[in-house]
Amino acid sequence: MTLQERDKKHLWHPLTQHQLHPDALPIVRAEGALLYDEQGKSYIDGIASWYTAMYGHCHPQIIAKVQQQMTTLDHIVFSGFTHAPAIELSEQLIALLPDNQDKIFFSDNGSTANEVAIKMALQYHFNRGDQRTTIIAFEDGFHGDTFGAMSASGLSVYNGPFEDFFIDVQRIPTPTTANIETVKEQLQTLITTHRVAAFIYEPLVQGANAMHMFDGGLLEQLLQICQAHGVITIADEVMTGFGKTGKHFASEHLETQPDIISMSKALTAGFVPMGVTSCAGYIYDAFLDNSIGKAFFHAHTYSGTPIACAVALAGIELLQSDAIQLNIQRIIHSHQQFDTKVRQHPLVKSTRQLGVIYALDLAIDMDRYGNKRYEIFDHFMRQGIYLRPLGKTIYILPPYVITAQQLTLIYDAITALLDQL
């Protein structure tokens, strides 16, 4: 039996209607920006495997650090014990994050990082004797698939079976120059009519919402309203973190800093899952008390596991290297040049870019997971390019180590698609 046949016996894949799409493609090896299937055919990983493997797959420098960690200390309970990799990672992250961030809390993935952020915000108010129960979020945002994170996600077309169990979330549109005054009024009204605990948002780019981008200055106005009313601001940087927007964190494009920041994905460079929720000192202080009841009772068995910390440390070292920083600038420039050529194409409705994130909308109507989307996907795969179109949006979010030649192959495949459509 082939790997593909064996896969079908017992595996249940995420986001997959197995009756329509029974075949998963076995990938046997990955290196740098390339994935290899069983026949040895290579695919350029144009989305860094969901924006995780930003320094390239199987990076030898990360492998060396992990190997070393594995032979020294594998795992310990992070309640009562501590260890050097976690301590060092907290120091490195705090140095990298916006100035107001002071404490680091570990969990397992992006959804749990947001779950922690939401629980932190709720308990922050609770501990101060101010019970607040409503969370504000953007329409069409995405924060993950656990219950709290899913409730905050506006992209809930596929959440039908669960909606009765959601926490209380009120939504506002992402701001534009045209709607900003209305959105500000909406936010003000929500804050006066509800007991609002927190506002959770993806700063500047909504990844799952087809890389929708919006203006930082407008977001800033919303954050200021929140902060004037004691509403905790939570920046979900799970997608945007670690260099993708051209700064280490998207929040750095703004002057108003969030109270809480959630991270995952590129944090552990595609090697192992890990989530981090950072917060300002005053959030942490609200949990200090002589009674245990005000402590934060949220734990995962693998919280702060040393191996994931070692990966994250190796990743941060790479992020700060001259080589990666130069690569980021090269990709930004390269996308800009491609954009000047492609944006005139009659089948391109609009294009947008922030840092190494580039997206274009096709001027045709398509369902998010419709047949046309799969045809386009196959077009790229046949040419050895892994892109994952979101409906009519084609986006590139390549690993920083992608070569100029590999990037050109992606651009050429997009141009060829436009000419064929």
Ligand X SMILES: *Cc1c(COP(=O)(O)O)cnc(C)c1O
Q: Output the smallest distance, CB 315 to ligand X, in A.
A: 15
Task: Say whether residue 393 binds ligand X (CB under 6 A).
Answer: no
Cβ closest to ligand X, residue 269 vs residue 417: 269
Helices (H), ranges, 238-370: 281-285, 306-319, 322-342
Please report whether residue 143 would count as binding ligand X according to CB under 6 A: yes
Of 237, 277, 274, nearest in space to 254 by CA: 237
**49 sits near ligand X (criterion: CB under 6 A):** no
Beta carbon nearer to ligand X, 272 or 413: 272
The secondary structure of residue 212, as a DSSP letter, is E
Applying CB under 6 A, which part among 110-118, 163-171, 278-286, 347-355 lies near ligand X? Answer: 110-118
Q: How many angstroms separate the Cα of 15 from the Cα of each of 3, 40, 44, 145?
A: 20, 26, 22, 11
Site track for ligand X across 197-236, x = CB under 6 A? -----x----x----------------------------x
CB of 12 to ligand X, least distance (A): 17
Residue 160 CB burial class (10 angstroms; 0-12, 13-18, ≥19): exposed
Q: Is 270 in the site for ligand X (CB under 6 A)?
A: no
CB of 149 to ligand X, least distance (A): 6
**Using an 8 Å Cβ cutoff, are 209 and 140 in contact?**
yes
Of 13-21, 137-145, 222-230, 334-342: span binding ligand X (CB under 6 A): 137-145
User: Would the CA dihedral through 156, 161, 163, 165 be positive or negative?
Assistant: negative
Given the complex with ligand X, which of 191 and 234 has the nearer CB atom? 234
Q: Stretches 62-70, 80-88, 140-148, 220-228: which one binds ligand X (CB under 6 A)?
A: 140-148
* Backbone φ and ψ of 276, nearest 5°: -135, 135
Q: Binding of ligand X at residue 111 (CB under 6 A)?
A: yes
- Residue 336 burial (CB count, 10 A): 11
**Distances in Å between the alpha carbon of 299 and those of 217, 291, 304, 310, 322?**
36, 19, 10, 20, 37
Which residues of the shown chain bind ligand X in the complex (CB under 6 A)? 109-111, 114, 142-144, 202, 207, 236, 238-239, 264-265
